A and B are shown apart, each in its own frame.
Chain A
Amino acid sequence: MSLNGARRSTFSVISSLFVKVVLYATLTGGAILSFLPFYWMLILSTHNTQRIFRYPPPLLPGGNLIINYQNMLPVIPFWRNFFNSASIAITTTLLTLLFCSMGGYAFAMYRFPGRDRLFFLMLSTMMVPWLVGLIPWFIIISRLGWLNDFKALIVPGAVSAFGIFWMRQYISANIPTELLDAARIDGCSEFMIFFRVVAPLLSPAYGALGIMTFMGSWNSFFYPLLVLKDSKMATLPLALQILRGDPYRGGDYGVLMLGTALAMLPVLLVFWAASRRFISGLTAGAVRG
C-alpha cells in the first residue's frame, strides 16, 4: 500500500511522515498500556506493603525481592502448586487437542446422519453459564470418588465444544478433500488417514487451541477450589488466594505480587516463544468462512 512514486510534492512527503509518526505513536502508546500492568506487578513484587501503599506509589524496583520470596515459601508450597497446575494443564491440553481434532475432523470431512443436528447440539451447550453447573458437577465428581484427585479436573476438561468448533473451522478451510481421496486410493485405512495424513497438517490449529486450553486450565479457580483440599494438591490460583487471604503471614502485598508474577512468567515465556505459530494458527482458522 505504498504511495505511487511518480510525482511527490513536499507536502505529500511531510504528510506521509506525519501520518507515520502518529501511527507509531498510537501503536507504541497502546503497547505501553498493554504492558504497563505487568511492569507495575514486577515493581511491586520487589517492595513490601508499607512502601506499596504510601503516596507517591513506587515506580522503580525496591530491595525486597529476596525477602518476599522467603516469606512466600512458608505460606504455600509454591513450586509444588506450580507443578500441579502444570501437570493438570498439560494433560488437559493434550487430551483436548487429541479429542477435539478428532471431533472437528469428523464434522468437517464426513457426511453422516445427524451430523448437523449433533453439531448444533454441541454448539448450544456453549450457551449455558458454567457457574450453574458447579454443584451437579461436584455431585458427579464426588460419586466417582475423584475428590482430591487431578482426574476431576482433567477428564471433564478433556473435550470442549469450542475446541471442536475451532478444529472443524480450520480443517474445513485448510484440508482439501482431494487429499483424503488420494490417501484412500493409496490404500490407507480411515484411522491412518487421520493420524498420519491430516493430523500433521494441523499444527497451527494445535498451537492456537493448545494455548487457549492451557490458559483456561491454568487459570481455573472454582473447580479446583471444590475438588482439591490438600494444600499440597492445590493449583496456583488457589495458592495465590491463600497468599492473598492469610492476614497473619501472607498479608504482605509485595509477597502476593511476587507470587502472581512467578505464576505468570513461565506462561508468558512459553507464549512469546510460540507466538508465531499461535498467531498463524489464528490466522488460518479464523478467516475463511
Chain B
Amino acid sequence: MAAQLRVRPRVKGLLSLWHEIKKNWVAYVYISPFYILFAIFGAFPILFSLCLSFQRWTGHGPMVFEGLANYSHLVHDRLFSIALWNTMVIWVAAHVPMLFLALVLAFILNSGLVRFRRAFETLYFTPMVTSSVAVAFIFMTMYGVRFGLINFGLKTIGLPTIDWWGGTGFWVKPAIIILFVWRWTGWNMVIYLAGLQGIDQELYDAAKIDGAGLSQIFRYITLPLLKPVILFTLILSFVGGITIFDEPYLLTWMQTLGGTNHAGLTLALYLYTEGFVRGHLGYASAIAYAICAIILALSAINLKLFGKPPGAV
C-alpha cells in the first residue's frame, strides 16, 4: 500500500480529490443555482466591462483598443478627483454619525430604562422599507429654498434659511447625507440592538458590583464585545457608501453633474453620466473598475486594522 502511494502521489491526490467531489455532490447541487445564474448574468457583465475599460466605444460600431489610456485619463481627470473626494466625504460624514447614533439609540433601548421598545424599533426601522425614488421626492420638497418645510421651520424659529442648492454648493452634501442618515439609522440600530442582547447580563451585574459607572461599562464591556457586530455593519456600509447613486441622482438631476460646484457628484453618478449620458462607455467602465479597486483597497485596510470580520472564510 505505502509503496503504491509513493510511486504515484499526484494521481492519488487527484483521485482523492475526485472522490471528495463525488462524496459531496449534494453540496455542489445546492450551490449550483447561484453559480449558473452568476455565470450567465454576473460573470459576463463583469468580464465584458473589464475588457471595455481598455477600449473606446460609443455603443455602436467598432471598439477601439486603447490600452491603459482610459485609466491614465482617470488619474488626470479633475471631475474624477472631485467625484472621489465627494464620495469619500459623503461616506464618512454620513456613516460616522449614523453608526454612532444607531449605537447610542440601541444602547438606550437595550438598557431597560425605557419601555415600548418594540414600537420604537419598528418606527425607526420604517424608513428602510421605502423606495429611494419616493423618498427623494419627499425630501426634494422639504429642501425647497423658498417653499420647503425645513426652511419654513427655520424661519419660524428665527434662524436664517438655508440655500440648499446654490452658493458654493456647500449644502448639497448635507442634503444627501441627511437623506442617507434618515434612511439607514434604524437598520443599524436594530442590528446593534441584536448585538447588545447577545451580551451576558451577568457581566454588567459584576461590573456594577465593582462600582463601574454607565460610561465605563459602555467603554470596557459593551464596545469590545460589540466589535464583531460593528465590523459587520461597517462592511455592509462600505460598498453601499462608495457606490451611492440613488440619492445624488434624484436630488441633483436637474442640474448637470452633481449641482453647483459639482458638490453632489459621486463616483457612481459620474459613471452614469459618462456612460449613459455622454456615451463614453469605455471610460465609464474604467471608472467602475477604479471604484472596485478602491473598495478592495479599503477592505484590505479594514482587514489589517480590525482583523477578520464575522462570517469570513
Contact = CB atoms under 8 A, between A and B. Distances in A.
Do A and B form a real pair?
Answer: yes
A105 B34 CA distance: 13
Interface stretch (B65-73, B122-130, B162-170): B122-130
Interface in B180-234: 182, 185-186, 190-191, 193-195, 197-198, 201, 204, 208, 228-229, 232
Contact of A194 (B30, B137, B194): B30
Interface string A234-277: 00110011001000000001001100100110011001100110
B41 A276 contact: no
Interface of B: 17, 20-21, 24, 26-28, 30-31, 33-35, 37-38, 40-42, 44-46, 48-49, 59, 105, 108-109, 111-114, 118, 120-135, 137-139, 141-142, 144, 146-149, 152, 182, 185-186, 190-191, 193-195, 197-198, 201, 204, 208, 228-229, 232, 239, 243, 245, 268, 271-272, 275, 281, 284-285, 287-289, 291-292, 295-296, 299, 309-311, 313
A27 B114 contact: yes
B288 A131 contact: yes
A91 to B, nearest CB: 14
Contact residues of A: prevailing secondary structure? helix
A261 to B, nearest CB: 8
Given A1-B111, A282-B191, A156 B131 contact: no
Nearest to A98: B33
Interface residues of A, number: 100
Interface stretch (A5-13, A33-41, A64-72, A76-84): A33-41
A287 B195 contact: yes
A198 B244 CA distance: 36
A36 B208 CA distance: 39
Contacts of B40: 140, 156
A2 B31 contact: no
Nearest to A138: B45
Contacts of B191: 282, 286
A27 B272 contact: no
A27 B195 contact: no
A113 B194 contact: no
A129 B291 contact: yes
A23 B41 CA distance: 49
Contact of B152 (A56, A111, A271): A56
A27 B134 CA distance: 25
